């Protein structure tokens, strides 16, 4: 009744908005958002499906843009859980997560027990197996809090490697990975990701934390003006380069990890078959 036109903007999932807030808008770019779940999104300029059903296909704000999305369900939540168990949660949950990731950084990846981080239970990511459960393999009396922390971080990094490998199989996604979120703020975690995947990891230099909120603001601004806002100049990104020597360590860990995953998968599938 007499009022002017009111723009209405349809929102989006936090994962999609996080990628947008990171500046991932061009085909071939990849966003890695470490939150309660860790989300890996590759941006494509055509509708791509996977015969093995390893990723979601999410329509994005711009016509002809699609997000190939994999969500590791228990990552930040698993870190919070272990932080509470190990007494790292003083100062609140975010402080606990940061403390646990920092604790893990003091241990060489090959010195930790093997941890399958399927604590939901089940895993989405690139596996889509609801029967997987979290598992610790190879515990010893010599292991302490820091080794358990390192094992969990290893498992998250190796599942991230799986997801990025799926994108590599699917299209031209070989450039830098744009990262943000809780554990990704730790330089050791970014170095692990870079070494395990042989990919450069790039964290924005502006020290922002909520890229989903930034993405929502960008989407609202575009709905009003019809164009994406021009980003202001910021600090240089913090980039983690892969180390070939460390990458070889992660290759060996990957082989052990996959053997354990296959064994535990057979175990839980056999249990379900028995009780049906």
Domain locations along the chain: 14-275
* pLDDT at residue 10, as a whole number: 73
* pLDDT at residue 126, as a whole number: 95
Match 């070989």 to its residue by tokens: 174
Long-range contacts of 55-58 (CB under 8 A, 24+ apart): 55/126, 55/163, 55/166, 55/167, 55/170, 58/13, 58/15, 58/16
Distance of CA 79 to the CA centre of its chain: 13
Copy the structure tokens of residue 210: 């909520």
Phi, psi of 130 (to 5 degrees): -75, -10
* pLDDT at residue 90, as a whole number: 59
Report how far apart the first and last C-alpha atoms of the chain are (Å, whole number): 62
In CATH terms, the fold of domain 14-275 is: Nucleotidyltransferase; domain 5 (3.30.420)
Contacts of 27 (CB under 8 A, 6+ apart): 43, 44, 45, 65, 172
Share of the chain above pLDDT 70, in %: 95
Stated pTM of the model: 0.91
Which pLDDT tens digit goes with each residue over 138-181? 999 999 999 999 999 999 999 999 999 999 999 999 899 999 98
Spans of the chain below 70 pLDDT: 1, 89-94, 232-234, 274-276
* pLDDT at residue 109, as a whole number: 97
C-beta separation of 125 from 116 below 8 A:
no
Which pLDDT tens digit goes with each residue over 71-100? 999 899 999 999 999 988 656 556 788 999
């Amino acid at each position: 009744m007499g009022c002017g036109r009111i723009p209405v903007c349809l929102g989006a999932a936090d994962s999609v908005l996080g990628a947008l807030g990171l500046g991932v808008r061009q085909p071939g770019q990849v966003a890695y958002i470490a939150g309660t779940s860790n989300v890996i999104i590759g941006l494509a300029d055509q509708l791509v499906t996977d015969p093995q059903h390893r990723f979601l296909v999410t329509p994005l704000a711009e016509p002809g843009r699609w997000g190939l999305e994999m969500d590791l369900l228990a990552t930040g939540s698993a870190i919070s859980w272990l932080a509470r168990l190990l007494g790292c949660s003083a100062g609140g949950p975010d402080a606990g997560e940061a403390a646990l990731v920092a604790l893990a950084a003091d241990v060489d990846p090959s010195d930790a027990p093997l941890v399958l981080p399927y604590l939901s239970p089940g895993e989405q990511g690139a596996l889509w197996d609801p029967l997987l459960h979290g598992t610790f393999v190879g515990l010893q009396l010599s292991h302490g809090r820091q080794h358990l922390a390192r094992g969990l971080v290893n498992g998250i990094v190796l599942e991230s490697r799986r997801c990025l490998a799926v994108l590599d199989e699917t299209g031209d996604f070989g450039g830098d990975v744009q990262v943000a979120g809780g554990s990704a703020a730790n330089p050791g975690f970014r170095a692990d990701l870079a070494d395990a995947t042989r990919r450069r990891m790039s964290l924005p230099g502006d020290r922002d934390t909520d890229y989903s909120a930034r993405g929502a603001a960008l989407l609202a601004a575009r709905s009003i003006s019809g164009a994406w806002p021009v980003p202001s100049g910021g600090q240089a990104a913090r980039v983690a380069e892969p180390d070939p020597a460390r990458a070889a360590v992660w290759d060996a860990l990957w082989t052990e990890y996959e053997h354990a995953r296959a064994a535990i998968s057979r175990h839980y599938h056999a249990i379900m078959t028995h009780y049906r």
